[in-house]
Amino acid sequence: MSDPHDWAPSTPSAPDQHPSREHVLAGLKATDEGGADLVQLLTPEGERVADPRFDQFATDLDSAALQGLYRDMVLVRRFDREGNALQRQGQLGIWVPLLGQEAAQIGAGRALQPQDMAFPSYREHGVAWTRGIDPTELLGIFRGTDHGAWDPKDARFHLYTIVIGNQCLNATGYAMGQRFESKVGEGPEAEATICFFGDGATSQGDVHEGFVWAAVYDAPVVFYFQNNQWAISEPTERQTRVPLYKRAAGYGFPGIRVDGNDVLACLAVTRWALEECRTGNGPVLVEAFTYRMDAHTTSDDPTRYRLADELELWKLKDPIERVRVNLVREHGIGQEFFSGVQAESDALAARFREYCVNMPPPAPDRMFSQVYAEGSTTVDAQRQEYLAYHESFESHGSPAVGGGR
C-alpha cells in the first residue's frame, strides 16, 4: 500500500485522489508500530534506540534519571488507580483516569523549566505531579469540595479546564504575554508555555483559533496533545482525515508525532519543542501517540464501543513496563529498587485515600466566596440571607454534613 497521505492535490478530473475510509484509517494507525513519522527512544520491549535528531535532548538521562522517571510513573499510576477505586466506593463523584498516559505526561512535565507555564485539560494528573502539586490537591475537584486547590500562578500550572479546548486560546494568550514581556530568547530566564489537550479537542474552534493566534503572534507555546485514540466513544477518525500532527503545517509551524508511551521520547521531544519556543521559533505542535487504557471517566463504559483486543494490543506497549525492562537489562537495576517504589506508591495511595475520606465538606457559604474580585452587593445579600436561613434550623451544618447526600 502506498503511503495514503502522499496524495497530490487533486485535479478536477481525478476524483479517485480522494482518500477512502480505509486509507484514512490506515494512515492514522500507520505509526502504531513506530516508524519514520514516530519519534521513539525506547521500544515497547525496553530497548533504547538511537534517534539522530532527539538523542541530543536525552544525553543527561542516565540510570538515576531513568529511575526517577520510572518512580514518577508508578506513583502517578498508583494514585490514579486509587482514585478510580474511591469513586467506585462512593468517595468521589467522578474520577478521570490517566491509565496508559503516564509516559506522555511525565515526559512532557519533566521537560518543563520552573519558569514555564502549563495549561492542562482535566486528565493531566501526571503533569500536575511534575509541577509539585500533591495528588491530594486534585481530590477536591472530583470529590466536589472545590474547583482546584492549587494556586495556578505559583505552581505555573493552570486550573484544570473541562470545556474541551478552551485552554488552547488561554495558553496562547499567556504565551503572547511572555513574548510581549521579552521573555523569549537566549538565556536561563527564557520562558515557554505548554498547552495540553486531547485528540477530540482538535475539532474545537478554540483549538483552531489558538493555532492561528499562536502562529500570527509567534507565541512561545507548545501545543501538546495526547492522542489517546478515543474521544469518549469516538475514535480519531471521527475527528480527522490526516494524522493530527500534520495539521500544523497548514498553520505554518512544525508538528511532530512522538511515541506517547515512551517517556524518554516524550521528554526529549518536549524539551526540543520548549526550546524552540523559548528561542523564538514557536509555536510547535506535538502529538503524543498513546492510548487511554481505562474508560473516559468512571461514568463511562468502553465495552460498549471498543473491542477488548485493542486494549490487549496496547498493554504490550505499556509505558511503565518498558522502562522497568530497560532499567533491569541495560542498567542492572535490581528488585530492591522496584520493591521500594512499589512500597512508596502503596503508602502514597493510603495517604491519598485517608486524605480523601476525611476531607471536610465546604462551609455552607463557600459558594458565595470569591465570585468577584471586588465583591457584589447581590451576592453579599444572598450570602447573608442564606446564612440566616441556615442558622434557623435546629440541626446545624449544611444538609451535606453528617447525613450524606
Task: Establish if 180 lies at the interface with another protein (CB under 8 A).
Answer: no
Task: Establish if 118 lies at the interface with another protein (CB under 8 A).
Answer: no
In this chain, which stretch among 127-135, 185-193, 313-321, 372-380 interacts with another protein, using CB under 8 A? 372-380
d(CA 192, CA 22): 39
Per-position DSSP letters for 216-260, written without gaps between them: HTT--EEEEEEE-SEETTEEGGGT-SS-GGGHHHHHTS-EEEEET
Q: What 3-state DSSP class applies to 366?
A: helix
Report the residue number, 195 or 267, with the smaller CB distance to another protein: 195
Task: Establish if 390 lies at the interface with another protein (CB under 8 A).
Answer: yes
Task: Establish if 304 lies at the interface with another protein (CB under 8 A).
Answer: yes
Which residue bears the cell 502562529?
A: 215
Minimum distance between the CB of residue 402 and another protein, rounded to whole angstroms? 4
Report the residue number, 12 or 405, with the smaller CB distance to another protein: 405
Spatial CA neighbour of 39 closest among 266, 285, 221, 244: 266
- Edge-to-edge strand ranges of the sheet holding 193-198: 38-39, 255-259, 284-289, 221-227, 193-198, 117-119
Beta carbons of 225 and 201 less than 8 angstroms apart = yes
Which string of b and e fits 247-259 if b means at least 16 CB within 10 Å? bbeebebbbbbbb
**Contacts for 301 with CB less than 8 Å, ≥ 6 apart:** 295
Applying the rule CB under 8 A, the residues between 244 and 283 that interact with another protein are none
Applying the rule CB under 8 A, the residues between 120 and 179 that interact with another protein are 122, 140-147, 162-165
Q: What 3-state DSSP class applies to 278?
A: helix
- What amino acid is encoded at 401 in this protein? V
Minimum distance between the CB of residue 239 and another protein, rounded to whole angstroms? 5
H or E segment and range at residue 196 = strand 193-198
Pairing of strands 230-231, 234-235: antiparallel
In Å, how far are 21, 82, 320 from 332, measured between CA atoms?
A: 47, 30, 17
d(CA 311, CA 307): 7
d(CA 230, CA 292): 7
- What amino acid is encoded at 140 in this protein? G
Give the residue, chosen from 315, 342, 371, 375, that forms a contact with another protein under the rule CB under 8 A: 371
Task: Establish if 18 lies at the interface with another protein (CB under 8 A).
Answer: no
Give the residue, chosen from 7, 217, 337, 386, that forms a contact with another protein under the rule CB under 8 A: 386
Give the residue, chosen from 49, 249, 313, 400, that forms a contact with another protein under the rule CB under 8 A: 400
- β-bridge mates for residue 229, sequence order: none
Catalytic residues: 292, 296, 305
Applying the rule CB under 8 A, the residues between 185 and 204 that interact with another protein are 200-201, 203-204
Report the residue number, 164 or 195, with the smaller CB distance to another protein: 164
Give the residue, chosen from 20, 56, 233, 339, that forms a contact with another protein under the rule CB under 8 A: 233
In this chain, which stretch among 68-76, 86-94, 112-120, 314-322 interacts with another protein, using CB under 8 A? 86-94
In this chain, which stretch among 64-72, 130-138, 172-180, 370-378 interacts with another protein, using CB under 8 A? 370-378
Minimum distance between the CB of residue 165 and another protein, rounded to whole angstroms? 8
Report the residue number, 49 or 381, with the smaller CB distance to another protein: 381
Report the residue number, 57 or 223, with the smaller CB distance to another protein: 223
Minimum distance between the CB of residue 375 and another protein, rounded to whole angstroms? 12
Report the residue number, 338 or 386, with the smaller CB distance to another protein: 386
CB atoms within 10 A of CB 9: 6
- β-bridge mates for residue 225, sequence order: 197, 287
Report the residue number, 29 or 306, with the smaller CB distance to another protein: 306
Applying the rule CB under 8 A, the residues between 323 and 362 that interact with another protein are 350, 353-354, 357-362
- Site size toward another protein (CB under 8 A) is 83
Fill in the per-residue mask, 40 to 79: x = in contact with another protein (CB under 8 A), - = not in contact: ----------------------------------------
